[in-house]
């Protein structure tokens, strides 16, 4: 009787893959076994040639959340007398490959159990199976089995044990499996730590508190979240005040699809993402007259919306009976709290009540954020549902050595490149706080221990004062391995090139806020030629000064002041910019600029966005980074206007004609939307000018400015119409969340170029 051995790699652990294999084998009368180990899954099957061929075809089609990346089969000797097909115990003691299942949203079958009276798990907040539930947030080691998870503290009851052992049950070897008799339990406490209620009573009391305007700290899947009533302006304002988040949009969780549709427009592709196992926050277009108050996302035509992704959220949202703001449990610029004692300490002044449970979280994982554009999805934050899925990079030389990249200072992620596969950590956030720096160090330790990796090469940013750079320097010294310092915008371009497996020279348009350039100035509007591990700066925005330095990042009026100084010299602020300055502030900034004191030069396109937004009166004071640029994007809408001009010489783009055009339009009484549309058109022209100068067929787009959907679309249209192949990020963020990928790619390519 013929026998085949198959080696399967991909997302095949903790996602019901082995039971699916077992059922496929039984249906075809095959004998043999399937075995879970650190390298993936090995199976042997014996039967007729036709049945074996059909079996292998069916293996490739096992549905999500399993993902078969490769399947290699070979003929082997028959095993006489074999009577059945079995599922063997997991292998141990091997170095694990970087393939780990991410956390998965509540599946339909489990949701039905939670909602159905009489079911054993009716209204149980921690219901899951092999198709859904916690994975990465509870795993302590590989292979993925219950003794190596946070669930080891919850012995299975006889009923759950029976499900866990039955290969035909969808909970077969579902490591987080639990029920009301043996699983985690809910508790509601006050900010003072005093227990208020447990179980169903805790859920009901938390929902009532939300309806009354309270701030609730909820222990979710990957950390604590802060929740308030999204239909109450006072509750949203209270959360903003306590969280110190003045205007940045909040995400909103809706009880169900029907309530979401009343507030948001949803395309078929967006609907599929809402119902997907990843279940990210989607940036959806708002409908007028919805229930969610404007204060949730001031001035924003889009709303970060998602549906309950755990049974706990599902039950709480149903009990509250309204959409809820659901945001990370932290102060602004701090990482999300995920350990109970830490949450009490850090969130005690933010939340009125804590709804928590006794299932430990092994690592914090925030919600992913995604936007569906005309040409497909754009992943803006890679976390729950996506991290830490490995991605095979098809670039020459990336099979070795093992590289660890420490990422950027903002929106930090860590990347591990091992065996030609890259695994990126979940979004960690900014590193400006002590908590952020500590989380970075813990994540590095966690990632290396988890995958049994010993880096042979380290990579970091060029900036010497970043927490990620300092950690990289310390680790390189401890491990005695080389450290590759990668310029920020080079890393941006290399990340997009690596994602698309571009091996030849390419032009990288890397447009963002600021990053330290090779010449010591602040870059951010760059045209770089990428070749292997090297780059050449072909072009850039003509630098202009930023009076006050870092203060200009959150004060767009300062960028406008510096831009006008560079273009026109000293002078009075034009209206409506003049209204943005108090007292003698304008004169004080002019003094800084005249003396070149604390006024670093920048070629940043992000700061140019800020300056134009301030000149038009759209946004000039305070706020979060990127707020002014968003205001320009939203003001432009879908308008198409003639572009402003540039003075383009030898690759340097002087914005003087653009500024003159903006001022002339303001003097003529043109509205901000008209100016914003012309500005976006001018940037598309600039992209084409640099592409034509470079003369390379491939152009990659990367950097925070390309989070702007309008800018990205305009640039793609302009370049594509001229015959260029345009590549943008798909699986990784275009913002600084993708920097670690670029650092890893550049670092390993240095070994190829030698």
> Where does the pLDDT of residue 53 fall: very low under 50, low under 70, confident under 90, or very high at 90 and above?
very high
Domains located in the chain, CATH noted:
3-87 (3.30.70.100), 186-357 (3.90.870.10), 370-500+735-748 (3.30.420.360), 540-728 (3.30.420.40)
**Nearest in space to 529 (alpha carbons), one of 393, 403, 682, 697:** 697
Q: What's the rounded mean pLDDT across residues 706-734? A: 97
- The lowest-confidence range among 71-85, 195-209, 651-665 is 71-85
**Nearest in space to 41 (alpha carbons), one of 11, 77, 4:** 11
The first and second tokens of residue 605, run together, are: 């396109």
Find how far residue 446's CA is from the centre of its chain: 19
**Nearest in space to 372 (alpha carbons), one of 286, 247, 501, 269:** 269
Helix (H) or strand (E) holding 740: helix 739-753
Residue 337 near residue 348, CB atoms below 8 Å: no
Q: What is the pLDDT at residue 301?
A: 96
**Nearest in space to 311 (alpha carbons), one of 145, 155, 183:** 183
Q: Which residues pair with 373 in a beta bridge?
A: 376
- Is the pLDDT assigned to residue 751 strictly greater than 90? no
- Over residues 469-526, the pLDDT tens digits come to 999 999 999 999 999 999 999 999 999 999 999 988 999 999 999 999 999 999 999 9
- Over residues 299-344, the pLDDT tens digits come to 999 999 999 999 999 999 999 999 999 999 998 788 999 999 999 9
Q: What is the pLDDT at residue 493?
A: 98
- Is the pLDDT assigned to residue 257 strictly greater than 70? yes
- Mean of the per-residue pLDDT values of the chain: 93
Q: Which residues pair with 378 in a beta bridge?
A: 371
> Where does the pLDDT of residue 284 fall: very low under 50, low under 70, confident under 90, or very high at 90 and above?
very high
Question: How far apart are alpha carbons 573 and 577 in whole angstroms?
Answer: 6
- To the nearest 10°, report the CA torsion of 725, 726, 732, 735: 150
Residue 740 contacts by C-beta under 8 Å, 6 or more apart in sequence?
405, 406, 407, 408, 412, 413, 414, 415, 424, 425
> Where does the pLDDT of residue 623 fall: very low under 50, low under 70, confident under 90, or very high at 90 and above?
confident
Burial 637-667, CB ≥16 within 10 A → b, else e:
eeeebebbebebeeeebbbbebbebbbebbe
**Nearest in space to 252 (alpha carbons), one of 210, 293, 311, 310:** 293
**Nearest in space to 640 (alpha carbons), one of 580, 707, 577, 718:** 718
Q: What's the rounded mean pLDDT across residues 687-709? A: 98
Residue 189 contacts by C-beta under 8 Å, 6 or more apart in sequence?
195, 196, 353, 354, 356
Helix (H) or strand (E) holding 162: helix 158-165
Residue 562 near residue 544, CB atoms below 8 Å: yes
Place of tokens 């640039």: 715
The first and second tokens of residue 343, run together, are: 């949450």
The count of C-alpha atoms lying within 13 angstroms of the C-alpha of 625, restricted to the half-sphere facing its C-beta, is 20
The backbone torsions φ and ψ at residue 664, rounded to the nearest 5 degrees and listed phi first, read: -65, -40
- Over residues 416-440, the pLDDT tens digits come to 998 778 999 999 999 999 999 999 9
User: How many CB atoms sit inside 10 A of residue 249's CB?
Assistant: 20
- Is the pLDDT assigned to residue 258 strictly greater than 90? yes
Q: What is the pLDDT at residue 66?
A: 80
pLDDT above 90 as % of the chain: 84
Show the CA angle centred on residue 354, arms to residues 351 and 356, nearest 5°: 145
Q: What is the pLDDT at residue 95?
A: 47
User: Mapping DSSP to helix (H, G, I), strand (E, B) and coil, where does residue 340 land?
Assistant: helix
The length of the chain in residues reads 754
Q: Which alpha helices (H) appear in 222-323, and where do they start and end? A: 233-243, 257-263, 268-274, 311-320
Residue 537 contacts by C-beta under 8 Å, 6 or more apart in sequence?
518, 526, 527, 528
Question: How far apart are alpha carbons 31 and 71 in whole angstroms?
Answer: 19
- Is the pLDDT assigned to residue 96 strictly greater than 50? no
- Over residues 337-377, the pLDDT tens digits come to 999 999 999 999 999 999 999 999 999 999 999 999 999 99
- Distance of CA 380 to CAs 117, 303, 370, 493, Å? 39, 14, 5, 16
Q: Which residues pair with 439 in a beta bridge?
A: none
Show the CA angle centred on residue 576, arms to residues 571 and 581, nearest 5°: 65
> Where does the pLDDT of residue 411 fall: very low under 50, low under 70, confident under 90, or very high at 90 and above?
very high
Task: Show the 3-state SS of 170-218.
Answer: CCCCCCCCCCCCCCCCEEEEECCCCEEEEHHHHHHHHHHHHHCCCCEEE
User: How many CB atoms sit inside 10 A of residue 127's CB?
Assistant: 31
Q: What is the pLDDT at residue 418?
A: 84
Q: Report the interhelical angle of 672-694 vs 605-615 (nearest 10°).
A: 160
Q: Report the interhelical angle of 605-615 vs 627-636 (nearest 10°).
A: 70
Q: What is the pLDDT at residue 398?
A: 55
pTM (two decimals)? 0.92
The first and second tokens of residue 217, run together, are: 């700290």
pLDDT above 70 as % of the chain: 97
Question: How far apart are alpha carbons 370 and 391 in whole angstroms?
Answer: 18
Q: What's the rounded mean pLDDT across residues 725-754? A: 92
Q: What is the pLDDT at residue 399?
A: 60
> Where does the pLDDT of residue 261 fall: very low under 50, low under 70, confident under 90, or very high at 90 and above?
very high
């Amino acid at each position: 009787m013929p026998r085949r051995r198959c080696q399967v790699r991909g997302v095949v652990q903790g996602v019901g893959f082995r039971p699916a294999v077992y059922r496929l084998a039984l249906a075809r009368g095959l004998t043999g076994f399937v075995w879970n180990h650190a390298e993936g899954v090995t199976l042997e099957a014996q039967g007729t040639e036709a049945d074996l061929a059909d079996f292998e075809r069916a293996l490739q089609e096992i549905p999500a959340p399993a993902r078969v990346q490769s399947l290699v089969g070979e003929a082997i000797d028959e095993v006489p007398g074999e009577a059945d097909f079995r599922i063997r115990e997991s292998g141990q003691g091997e170095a694990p490959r970087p393939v780990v299942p991410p956390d998965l949203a509540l599946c339909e079958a489990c949701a039905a159990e939670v909602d159905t009276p009489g079911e054993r798990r009716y209204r149980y907040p921690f219901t899951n199976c092999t198709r859904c539930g916690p994975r990465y947030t509870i795993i302590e080691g590989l292979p993925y089995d219950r003794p190596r998870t946070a669930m080891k503290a919850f012995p299975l009851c006889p009923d759950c044990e029976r499900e866990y052992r039955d290969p035909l049950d969808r909970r077969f070897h579902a490591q987080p499996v639990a029920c009301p008799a043996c699983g985690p339990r809910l508790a509601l406490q006050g900010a003072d730590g005093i227990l208020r209620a447990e179980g169903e009573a805790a859920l009901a009391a938390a929902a009532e508190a939300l309806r009354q305007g309270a701030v609730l700290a909820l222990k979710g899947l990957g950390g604590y979240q802060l929740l308030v009533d999204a239909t109450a302006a006072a509750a949203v304002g209270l959360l903003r005040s306590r969280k110190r988040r003045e205007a940045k949009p909040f995400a909103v969780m809706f009880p169900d699809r029907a309530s979401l549709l009343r507030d948001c427009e949803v395309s078929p592709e967006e609907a599929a993402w809402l119902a997907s196992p990843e279940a990210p926050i989607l940036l959806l277009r708002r409908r007028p007259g919805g229930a969610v108050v404007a204060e949730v996302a001031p001035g924003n035509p889009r709303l970060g919306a998602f549906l309950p992704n755990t049974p706990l959220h599902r039950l709480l949202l149903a009990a509250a009976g309204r959409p809820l703001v659901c945001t990370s449990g932290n102060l602004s610029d701090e990482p999300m709290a995920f350990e109970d004692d830490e949450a009490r300490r850090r969130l005690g002044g933010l939340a009125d009540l804590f709804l928590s449970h006794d299932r430990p979280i092994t690592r914090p994982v925030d919600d992913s954020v995604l936007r569906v554009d005309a040409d497909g999805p754009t992943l803006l934050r890679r976390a729950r549902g996506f991290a830490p899925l490995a991605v095979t990079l098809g670039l020459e030389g990336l099979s070795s050595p093992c590289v660890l990249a420490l990422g950027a200072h903002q929106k930090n992620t860590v990347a591990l490149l091992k065996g030609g596969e890259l695994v990126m950590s979940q979004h960690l956030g900014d590193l400006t706080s002590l908590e952020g720096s500590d989380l970075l160090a813990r994540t590095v330790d966690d990632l290396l221990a988890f995958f049994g990796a010993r880096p042979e090469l380290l990579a970091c940013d060029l900036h010497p004062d970043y927490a990620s750079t300092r950690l990289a320097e310390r680790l390189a010294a401890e491990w005695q391995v080389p450290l590759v310092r990668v310029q920020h915008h080079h890393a941006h371009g290399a990340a997009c090139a690596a994602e698309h497996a571009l091996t030849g020279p390419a032009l990288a348009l890397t447009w963002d806020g600021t990053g330290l350039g090779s010449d010591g100035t602040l870059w951010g509007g760059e045209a770089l030629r990428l070749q292997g591990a090297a780059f050449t700066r072909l072009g850039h925005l003509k630098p202009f000064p930023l009076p006050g330095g870092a203060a200009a990042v959150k004060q767009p009026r300062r960028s406008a002041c510096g831009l006008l100084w560079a273009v026109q010299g000293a002078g009075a602020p034009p209206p409506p910019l003049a209204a943005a300055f108090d007292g003698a502030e304008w004169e004080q900034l002019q003094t800084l600029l005249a003396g070149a004191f604390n006024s670093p030069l920048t070629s940043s396109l992000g700061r140019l966005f800020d300056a134009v937004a301030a000149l038009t009166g759209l946004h000039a004071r305070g706020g979060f980074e990127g707020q002014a640029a968003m205001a320009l994007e939203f003001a432009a809408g879908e308008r198409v206007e003639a572009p402003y001009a540039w003075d383009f010489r030898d690759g340097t783009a002087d914005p003087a004609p653009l500024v003159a055009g903006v001022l002339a339009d303001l003097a003529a009484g043109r509205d901000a939307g008209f100016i914003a549309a012309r500005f976006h058109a001018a940037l598309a022209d600039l992209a084409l000018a640099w592409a034509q100068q470079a003369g390379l067929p491939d152009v990659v787009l990367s950097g925070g400015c390309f989070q702007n959907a309008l800018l990205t679309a305009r640039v793609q249209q302009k370049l594509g119409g001229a015959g260029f192949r345009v590549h943008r990020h798909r699986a990784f963020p275009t913002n600084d969340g993708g920097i670690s990928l670029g650092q890893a790619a550049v670092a390993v390519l240095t070994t190829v170029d030698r």
